[in-house]
Structure formats: structure tokens, C-alpha cells
Amino acid sequence: MKAIIFDLDGVICFTDKYHYHAWKQLADKLGIYFDAEINNRLRGVSRMDSLEIILEKSTKQYSQEEKDAFAEEKNEVYKNLLQQMSTADLSDEVRGTLNELRNRGYKLAIGSSSKNTKRILKQIGLDGFFDAISDGTNISKSKPNPEVFLKAAEFVDEDPADCLVVEDAEAGIEAAFRGGFKSAGIGEAHNHPQVTYKLEKFSDLLRVLRN
């Protein structure tokens, strides 16, 4: 392995609750049922695809303009909530593991569907830390399409076969597999049949990469 590509939300830090609050606010306004279980389905999925999942419970049909406005509205609420994030939202475990991986000489990159990636990295004090960032701003196809990871590999100038993808979402493990990457799965990502390594915790990466 020469490079490690990390998903952001649910791997490096936890933004689930903010996504949930922001989508819930929009869903309540539109009178659409939304719960934590539906929120789980949004993991790794782009903003517009997430909105489509939420609208599955709607009885109304909306135009593309209306959908764009809803996604924008949700994002404004979400961005406000992100302002609460600080370096305290980066755990000692994640920070220590990243530093150790860097000491071992791996290239470190981000592969996230989020268009707020840089904003979040700044909030948690990882601005400028990664060798490359591939995120929602440089892709046109969301996970489980491998585009975001293929771009990250390209940005660090390594073959997918030499990169390990770290993910918490099944869609992310699927994307890694389709792109020819090995993967390390946390939490729900264990359920995917193609996950290469199952991590109980983030720091297990140090053990897995010794082999």
C-alpha cells in the first residue's frame, strides 16, 4: 500500500447529526416523514441523491428548480450547524493514527462525496493536512460509483491497487471495490460482502497496514 484514501463523514469526524437536523427541518416544512433510519440511507450519498431519497415519502411531485432550492436551503442550515464544529471534533485516536500513518510514509488523501469537505476539515483543524482532496466538487457521479476514489488516486499519482480506501458506508465499500481498491470498513460498512478489512475502531488501521 502506498496511499490511504479516507472518507470524511463517519470516518474522520461525525457530521451525521447535523445532516439529520438540517434534512429534518426541511422534511418537516414540506410535511414529509423523515427519521434516523432514512438518514442512515443518506450515508455517502450526494446531496441531490439524498434529497431524492427524502422525497420518496412525499406525495407531491417537485420540479428541478424546486428541488435545487430545497437542497440549497438544507445546505444553508447544515453550514450553520457546522460552525459548531471545532478541533474537539477530531478525536485523539484519529489524530494520532493519521500522524502515525504519515510517519510510516503513506500518502494520505480524502475521498468524500461532500461539497463541504474543505469547510469541515478547516473546522476540525485538518486544513492543509492531506496530500490530496477529492470531494463532491470534483465529481459528477456519487458513490457507489468509484469516481471520487479514482480521482483521489490520480491526485496522489498512485494506482488504485496501491491505495486503501477507508469507509463507513456500504456505498463507499461498493465504490472502492468497483474501482479496484482494497477497503477497510468501519461500522455499517462491515455488512458489505466485498470489504477487505473490518475495523472495530479507526486505530485498527495501524495493525491492518502492518501485514
Q: Which stretch binds Mg ion (CB under 5 A): 6-14, 75-83, 140-148, 180-188?
A: 6-14
Binding residues (CB under 6 A) for ligand BG6: these are: 8-9, 19, 42-47, 50, 75, 112-116, 136
Residue 168, binding choice from ligand BG6, Mg ion, none, Cβ under 5 to 8 Å by partner class: Mg ion
CB of 15 to ligand BG6, least distance (A): 7
Residue 50, binding choice from Mg ion, ligand BG6, none, Cβ under 5 to 8 Å by partner class: ligand BG6
Residue 45, binding choice from Mg ion, ligand BG6, none, Cβ under 5 to 8 Å by partner class: ligand BG6
Position among 5, 9, 123, 156 found at the interface with Mg ion (CB under 5 A):
9
Angle between helical axes of 64-82 and 47-55 (0-180°, round to 10): 110
7 is catalytic: yes
**Alpha carbons 55 and 39: distance in angstroms, whole number:** 12
Under 8 Å between Cβ of 112 and 118 = no
Angle between helical axes of 47-55 and 16-30 (0-180°, round to 10): 40
User: Cis (ω within 30 of 0) for the bond into 144?
Assistant: yes
| Torsion over CA: 207, 44, 145, 174 (sign) | positive
- Give me the sheet containing 163-167, strands edge to edge: 132-134, 107-111, 3-6, 163-167, 182-186, 197-199
CB of 49 to ligand BG6, least distance (A): 8
Residue found under cell 469526524: 13
9 is catalytic: yes
Cell output for 162: 496501491
- Closer residue to ligand BG6, CB minimum distance, 46 or 134: 46
Under 8 Å between Cβ of 109 and 6 = yes
CB of 103 to ligand BG6, least distance (A): 27
- Closer residue to ligand BG6, CB minimum distance, 43 or 182: 43
- Closer residue to ligand BG6, CB minimum distance, 67 or 115: 115
CB of 58 to Mg ion, least distance (A): 25
User: With binding defined as CB under 5 A, does residue 169 bind Mg ion?
Assistant: yes
Task: Point out the residues that are catalytic.
Answer: 7, 9
